[in-house]
Amino acid sequence: MDSVLIIGAGAAGSVVAQKCAMNRDVFKKIHLASRRLESCEKIAKRCVTPIEISHVDADNVAETVALLKKVKPDLVINMALPYQDLPIMDACLEAGVHYMDTANYEPRNEAKFTYKWQWPYHDKYKAKGLMAILGCGFDPGQSNIYCAYAQEFLFDEIETIDIVDCNDGSHGKAFATNFNPEINLREVTQRGKYWKNGQWIEIDPLSIACMVDYPEVGPRKSYLIYHEEEESLVENIRGLKQIRFWMTFSDNYIKHLEVLQNVGMTRIDPVMYKGTPVIPMEFLKELLPPPSSLGENYTGRTSIGCIFKGKKDGKEKRAFIWNVCDHAQCYKETGAQAVSYTTGVPPVVGAMMFFKGHWKGAGVFNVEQLPSKPFMDEIGKQGLPWQMAEIAEKDQAELFAVKT
């Protein structure tokens, strides 16, 4: 297996295509497809080795099936919008092609992150001898694999997980989102949620915050939000008692978000404007800078990882696994800022794991269900090195003190 079709030519899709093109020993044939052919053309020019490109409307199953039968890839890497996961999964099933994505499906008319639509594909993929790998970005993705690695090599039992995500960068814009504005704003404005003692607990959006000390960045105010990898990790990390997800937002971001919410610009239901239905969130997306335009002159770094509390050999243990990524270095290599880079590199490594036979099976799998060590061994070579340290309670005192 050595042929890959990438669907989606946004900022993260560009990173995937470029990194595949840097690894031709694994990816002998690379094809990039998108509704925007001009975006594919721009990305192809950036690739260090030649790739093929096509136009495709990923919402159209028949059109995607036709492209799959023409290109005959071994694996589809879905870098399109989460709305398009199911049509692409259906197309892969019909054409007999393995599947991978970086974010779970959500319907356009409801900000609802859940695997309930994709997990039921397990039996259909298994019956056809196909593999579907879900959530192979950074978070979800690399964060899940950190958890799997910790479970296998660092702990006898993991009691709590705090996934912490900081972007300490500056793009110089008054307001912009680092990935697709629709997805980003839907994610932040929905109700928060975390898992504790066997149940999900909902909270008002951005109503719980604390200071988290991020490696190479320092203490930053972080908000408790819901993130999709929590749903699968609850199923796959044994003995887990609590899992939470924390993300940093600047005061400027929060201020703009509050104003946009107050005037109705984050609504995802249509409103009538001069006799035409308009979805405010989709209109807002057209006004904001595209994430692919933010890389130039972006300064600072991302610092993302997982903080664990559990037991090893009968003793209490705390550990932290993380990655730090520099915006300027990412832009120099791929023309993308670090948020796009950290999303785009893991699916390339995941595809390597699949092609090399480290990840195999029939059915639908989240990445923490697959061998973690080969991925951890490779991801640093591809640009996202990780570090691990045992920590004390005082090292993240405020985080551990938050009673949720």
pLDDT tens digits for 37-47?
Answer: 999 999 999 99
CB-CB contact of 212 with 220 (8 Å) = yes
- E-assigned strand segments in 150-284: 157-167, 192-196, 199-203, 209-214, 218-225, 242-248, 271-273, 276-278
Percentage of residues in the chain having pLDDT higher than 70:
99
Domain-by-domain residue ranges, the chain? 3-101, 142-334+385-401
Nearest to 77 by CA among 290, 346, 339: 346
DSSP codes joined into one string, 193-224: EEEETTEEEEE-TT--EEEEEETTTEEEEEEE
Tell me the CA distances in angstroms from 81 to 35, 93, 98, 140, 287, one per residue in order.
Answer: 12, 19, 18, 15, 18
Q: What is the pTM of this model?
A: 0.93
CB-CB contact of 9 with 45 (8 Å) = no
More confident residue, 91 or 183: 91
DSSP codes joined into one string, 386-399: -EEEE--GGGGHHH
CATH 1.10.20.10 fits 3-101, yes or no: no
CB-CB contact of 113 with 227 (8 Å) = yes
CA dihedral 371→377→382→383, nearest 10 degrees, is 110
pLDDT in tens, 342-364: 999 999 999 999 999 999 999 99
pLDDT tier, 178 (very low <50, low <70, confident <90, very high otherwise): low
Length of the chain: 404
* CB-side neighbour CA atoms (13 Å) of 208: 20
Q: What is the pLDDT of residue 317?
A: 98
Report whether pLDDT(282) > 90.
no
Report whether pLDDT(31) > 70.
yes
Task: Report d(CA 383, CA 322) in Å as an integer.
Answer: 13
Q: Among 1.10.10.10, 3.40.630.30, 3.40.50.410, 3.30.360.10, what is the CATH number of 142-334+385-401?
A: 3.30.360.10
Report whether pLDDT(128) > 90.
yes
Q: What is the pLDDT of residue 232?
A: 98
Q: Output phi, psi for 367, to 5 deg.
A: -65, -25
What stretch of H or E contains 29?
strand 29-34
In which region does residue 21 sit, left (phi positive, over 0), alpha (psi from -120 to 50) or beta (all else)? alpha
Q: What is the pLDDT of residue 179?
A: 63
Task: Report d(CA 325, CA 328) in Å as an integer.
Answer: 9
Task: Report d(CA 84, CA 73) in Å as an integer.
Answer: 19
Q: What is the pLDDT of residue 257?
A: 81
To the nearest whole number, what is the mean pLDDT of the chain? Answer: 94
Under DSSP, the state recorded for 62 is: H
Task: Report d(CA 44, CA 127) in Å as an integer.
Answer: 36
